[in-house]
Structure 1
Amino acid sequence: MFSSSNPNKKKSKKSLFKRVMAWLHLWLGLASGIIVVIVSLTGCIYVFESEIKDFIEDWRFVKPQEQAFLLPSQLITIADKTMKGKHATSVTFGGKEDAAIVGYFTEKKEGKDREGKAEHKKGEGKGRNQKDVAKSDNEKGKEREKGKGKGKEKGKEEKSKRRRGGIFTSVYMNPYTGEVLNIKSVSRSESPDFFRFILNGHRALWLPYDIGRPIVGVAVLIFVFLLISGIVLWWPTKWIKSIRDKSFKIKLSASFKRLNYDLHNVLGFYSMIFLLFISITGLVWSFGWWSKSLYWVTSGGKPLTENRESPKSDTTIVKAFNITTVDKVLLNLSKQNPQAAGILVTVPDKPADAIGAFVYKQKHTFYNMDRYSFDQQTLKEISIKTPFSGKYIEANIPDKIRRMNYDIHVGSVLGLTGKFLAFFASLISASLPITGFMIWWGKQKFGKKSPAKPKVATKEIPVSKLKNRAEKELTA
Structure 2
Amino acid sequence: MRKGFLVVHKWLGLITGVVVFIVAITGCFYAFKEEIQSLYQDYKHVELNDDPYLTPSQVAHIADSIYPQQHIHSINYLGKDKALEVMYYEDDTDTSELIYDAFYVHPTTGEGIKYVDLTAGFFRFILDGHYYLWLPEELGHTVVATSTLIFFFMLITGLILWWPKNKNARKQRFKFKWKETTKWKRKNYDLHNILGFYVISIAMVLCLTGLVWGFGWFAYGSYKLLGGEKSIVYVEPDSPSLKGQAALPTDLMENNMDEMWRRMMLEYPNADNIEVHVPHTDSSTIYISIKPDEGTHYRTDYRFFDQKTLEEVEVNHLWGKYADADATDKLYRMNYDIHIGAIAGLPGKIIAFLASLIIASLPVTGTLVWWGRRKKKKK
Equivalent of 2:264, from 333, 339, 355?
Answer: 333
Deviations, residues 181-215 of structure 1 (Å, cap 9, x unaligned): 1101234xxxx322222111111111111111111
Q: Which residue of 1 aligns with 2:255?
A: 324
Unaligned runs of 5+ residues in structure 1 are 1-15, 109-160, 451-476
Alpha-carbon distance, 1:259 to partner: 1.2
**Deviation beyond 4 Å, 4+ runs, structure 1:** 64-67
Asked if 1:101 is matched to 2:32, the reply is no
With over 3 angstroms needed to count, the CA separation of the structure-2 counterparts of 1:379 and 1:163, relative to structure 1, is farther
State which of 113, 118, 121 in structure 2 corresponds to 1:193: 121
Q: Are 1:173 and 2:105 an aligned pair? A: yes
Aligned mates of 2:96, 2:337 — CA distance in 1: 22
The share of aligned pairs that are identical, in percent, is 38
1:447 to 1:403, Cα distance in 2 relative to 1, 3 A: closer
Q: Which moved more, 1:271-280 or 1:163-172?
A: 163-172
Partner Cα distance (2:131, 2:46) in 1: 33
C-alpha separation between the residues in 1 aligned to 2:95 and 2:303? 22
Contact 1:295–1:304 under 8 Å retained in 2: no
**In the alignment, does 2:357 pair up with 1:357?**
no
Higher relative contact order (CA 8 A, sep 6+): 2
Matched, 1:30 2:46: no
* Matched residue, 2:144: 216
Q: Is the 2:211–2:218 contact (alpha carbons within 8 Å) kept by the matching residues of 1? A: yes
SS in 2 for 1:222: helix
DSSP-derived class of the 1:169 partner? strand
Q: Distance in 2 between matches of 1:41 and 1:307?
A: 30
Whole-Å separation in 2 of the counterparts to 1:406 and 1:367: 8
Cα separation, partners in 2 of 1:229 and 1:65, compared to 1, 3 Å: farther
Cα distance, 1:416 vs structure 2: 1.4
Give the Cα–Cα distance (whole angstroms) in 2 for the partners of residues 228 and 296 of structure 1. 24
Q: Which residue of 2 aligns with 1:92?
A: 76
Distance 1:303 1:336 in 2: 29
Change (3 A) 1:258 1:64: farther
8 Å Cα contact 1:171/1:182 also seen in 2: yes
Aligned counterpart for 1:227 among listed residues 137, 146, 155: 155
Residue 395 (structure 1) aligned with residue 379 (structure 2): no
Is residue 347 of structure 1 aligned with residue 311 of structure 2? no
Which residue of 1 is the match for residue 225 of structure 2? 297
SS at match of 2:118: strand
1:365 maps to amino acid? T
The residue number in structure 1 matching 2:26 is 42
Alpha-carbon shift at residue 283 of structure 1 (Å): 0.8
TM-aligned CA distance change 1:304 to 1:85, over 3 Å: same
Whether 1:370 and 2:370 are equivalent positions in the alignment is no
- What code does the residue aligned with 1:20 have? G
- Distance in 1, matches of 2:350 and 2:95, equals 32
Counterpart Cα distance in 2 of 1:232 and 1:429: 18
One-letter amino acid matched to 1:172: Y
Question: Partner letter of residue 331 of structure 1?
Answer: R
Q: Could you list the per-position Cα deviations for residues 322-371 of structure 1 after superposition, in whole angstroms to 9, with x for gaps in the alignment?
A: 32322111110111111111100100132111111111011232111111
The answer for the alignment partner of 2:65 in structure 1 is 81
Please tell me whether the aligned partners of residues 234 and 318 of structure 2 are also in contact (alpha carbons under 8 angstroms).
no
Aligned-partner Cα distance in 2 for 1:90–1:312: 17
Deviation at 1:445, TM superposition (A): 2.6
Shift in CA distance, 434/58, structure 1 to aligned 2, threshold 3 Å: same
**Equivalent residue letter for 1:43:** G
Partner Cα distance (1:252, 1:84) in 2: 67
Matched, 1:422 2:352: yes
Q: State the shift of 1:245 in Å.
A: 3.1
Larger radius of gyration: 1
Q: Where does the alignment leave 5 or more consecutive residues of structure 2 unmatched?
A: none
* Partner Cα distance (1:263, 1:162) in 2: 48
8 Å CA contact 1:321, 1:351 repeated in 2: no
Judge conservation of contact 2:234–2:319 (CA < 8 Å) in 1: no
Equivalence map 1:240-255=2 (5 Å):
240=167, 242-253=168-179, 254-255=182-183
Is contact 2:285-2:304 (8 Å) kept?
Answer: yes
Q: Is the 8 A contact 2:59 2:110 kept in 1?
A: yes
Q: 1:398 to 1:24 in 2, by over 3 A?
A: same
RMSD of the alignment, in Å?
Answer: 2.0
Aligned to 2:115: 183
After superposition, the C-alpha distances for 1:389-410 in whole angstroms (9 at most, x for unaligned) are 12x1331111111111111111
- CA distance in 1 between partners of 2:51 and 2:203 (Å): 47
The answer on whether the counterparts of 1:307 and 1:385 sit within 8 Å (CA) in structure 2 is no
1:309 lines up with 2:235 in the alignment: yes
The answer as to whether partners of 2:273 and 2:291 remain within 8 angstroms in 1 is: yes
